[in-house]
Structure 1
Amino acid sequence: MDHDQPTVLLPGDVRMPLLGFGTWQVTGQAGYDAVLAALDAGYRHIDTASMYGNEEEVGRAVKESGLRREDVFITTKLPPDRVGRERETIEASLRALDLDHVDLWLIHWPPSSPSDSIPTWRELLAARDENLTRAVGVSNYSTAQIDELIQATEENPAVNQIRWSPSLYDRQRHAEHRDRGVVLEGYSPFKTTDLSDPVLVRIAAAHGVSPAQVVLRWHIDHEIVVIPKSVTPDRIRANADVWNFSLTAQEMRDIDALGG
């Protein structure tokens, strides 16, 4: 089930698959099994973080999947309590993942002390320049916080990973990312979504798919990276099965309108 999945281009000619697999709260054997099931279902992008405590399981599943390293896009993140120990943290992540580099390293949350913001970002840029990661970005940042990094370093975060879903759709925020060349990546796509919403149910019926699949396709058709999470093999497979339909311009508008 290895399709030519749509990707978005990051700086440095790095291609990031628009569909990824989230691993928050997915640890131990269940974590390993879920990542292996995801790779088997066709996912080629796995999202983890130091604070998830599952980098070892993720790395082992990638290794044992039989896929080539260059065919799997791997993201990990710097936790807030590791500010000032960035180099040590990425090295620990690489050891746990059993890799010589990740594809994307994010600052998981803005540092609690604003004065740490720029030095932390510079450390991520240094890690990228040393090929420990192919691209660098942020998570849970406001547009103003992103602008601060750009103004200080003239280096845009490749990605900002934030909570996103149809009910949270914010046209202006989406445009602000696009204008800055920052890829928007949405997490928890279902947590704030009412999958029984009549708009989603109607559009799902029109395409013979589930409302959850419509939500994922809506992200993809907006070129927003999305990382659904599940430990259920059937749901993992269903979430990966979003390539045989696409939404019309009117359907996209109807779903956007759920954001109020």
Structure 2
Amino acid sequence: MANKFSFKSTVRLNSGQELPLLGLGTYLNDDCKPACLAGLKQGYKHIDTARMYGNEVQVGEALRESGIPREEIYITTKINNNEHSYDVALASVDDSLKTLGLDYIDCMLIHSPLSNKPSRLETWRALVEAKKQGKVKAIGVSNYGVKHLEEIREANLELPSINQIELQPRCQQKEIVEWCKKYDIVIGAYAPIMRTKWNYPEITETAKKYNKNPAQLLVRWSLQRGYAPLPKSADPERVKTNADVFDFEISPEDMALIDGLDRGKEGEITWNPIDAE
């Protein structure tokens, strides 16, 4: 039986890859294989993990057990905050390849800027080298503010393909978004469904208008804003319903209504180390 939902929406990265815009997040899900299998069966083409999450093994197992050809699924993982140096970062790439059981990683991110400028740049140089070696296809960062992105640009190094940040209606991080747009860097949006803290009429009532639940409305909002949202759930059924977002479009008026919820840093729901020194 054909999948109910369409997952053909992709964006071309500055690395030349096609990134499936809708991805499955696996944070705080040590046993993520059931959710990953449900997502892959349903039609997800992108799974986001990290060394810190401790579930790369499960992601790799789910991919193999799904029977889907490797080249059809996009896998993102991330360098730990305590692995910021050239040699350690290179070794971490190799370890993630082994843990995932893959010959290559589609995208490797620096998980956060929580070290210092010299260490961040050495880690970035390691990812550039890993890409040259074919171990990763694209490289990027996560939780990077404009200051951290400027470090890479000013060092005349290859710019990231992706910056993955918290991005939801209450926390829109507009300065970072505008910088990334200027330099053709895709915004990966984590916590797009606000960790279910969505009890605002602009969300709950608008969702009813489209006969959708708040999570679906929020994922659709993120897609229409041009982001690559990563909704997560450990519940296989919610994994499926979170992706039922391709059969409606939010009107410009309702998009503006939801946009009006932005509270900048006051709207943060989880950690946001964009100001790290």
TM-score by length of 2: 0.89
Tell me whether 1:179 sits opposite 2:182 in the alignment.
yes
Q: Does structure 2 retain, via aligned residues, the 8 Å contact 1:186–1:226?
A: yes
Aligned-residue offset at 1:4: 4.3
Q: How does 1:111-260 map to 2 (within 5 A)?
A: 111-191=114-194, 194-260=197-263
Q: Does structure 2 retain, via aligned residues, the 8 Å contact 1:200–1:214?
A: yes
Q: Does structure 2 retain, via aligned residues, the 8 Å contact 1:77–1:107?
A: yes
CA distance in 1, matches of 2:166, 2:248: 25
CA distance in 2, matches of 1:154, 1:248: 40
**What SS is found at the alignment partner of 1:125?**
helix
Partner of 2:50: 49
Residue-by-residue CA offset, 1:198-230 (whole Å, 9 max, x unaligned): 111232122111111010000001110111110
CA distance in 2, matches of 1:110, 1:194: 26
Unpaired runs of 5+ in structure 1? none
CA distance in 2, matches of 1:203, 1:8: 27
Partner of 2:270: none
CA distance in 1, matches of 2:176, 2:257: 18
Aligned-residue offset at 1:175: 1.6
Q: How does 1:78-93 map to 2 (within 5 A)?
A: 78-84=79-85, 85-93=88-96
Runs of 4+ in 1 over 4 A off after TM superposition: none
Aligned-residue offset at 1:193: 5.9
Aligned-residue offset at 1:73: 0.5
Residue-by-residue CA offset, 1:110-153 (whole Å, 9 max, x unaligned): 14122212111111111111111110000111011101101213
Bigger mean CA offset, 4-13 vs 217-226: 4-13
CA distance in 1, matches of 2:186, 2:196: 22
Partner of 1:14: 17
Partner of 2:65: 64
Label 1:25 to 1:194 Cα distance change in 2 as closer, same or farther (>3 A). closer
Bigger mean CA offset, 214-223 vs 5-14: 5-14
More helix by share: 1
Q: Does structure 2 retain, via aligned residues, the 8 Å contact 1:167–1:192?
A: no
Bigger mean CA offset, 17-26 vs 182-191: 182-191
Q: Does structure 2 retain, via aligned residues, the 8 Å contact 1:166–1:193?
A: no
Aligned-residue offset at 1:43: 1.0
CA distance in 1, matches of 2:196, 2:221: 12
The code of the aligned residue for 2:216 comes to: Q
The code of the aligned residue for 1:82 comes to: E
Percent identical across equivalent pairs?
A: 36
Residue-by-residue CA offset, 1:171-216 (whole Å, 9 max, x unaligned): 3332221012111111112336642311112321221111110100
CA distance in 1, matches of 2:214, 2:184: 30
CA distance in 2, matches of 1:4, 1:141: 28
Aligned-residue offset at 1:52: 0.9
Tell me whether 1:101 sits opposite 2:79 in the alignment.
no
TM-score by length of 1: 0.95
Q: Does structure 1 retain, via aligned residues, the 8 Å contact 2:7–2:45?
A: no
Bigger mean CA offset, 38-47 vs 111-120: 111-120
CA distance in 1, matches of 2:204, 2:52: 36
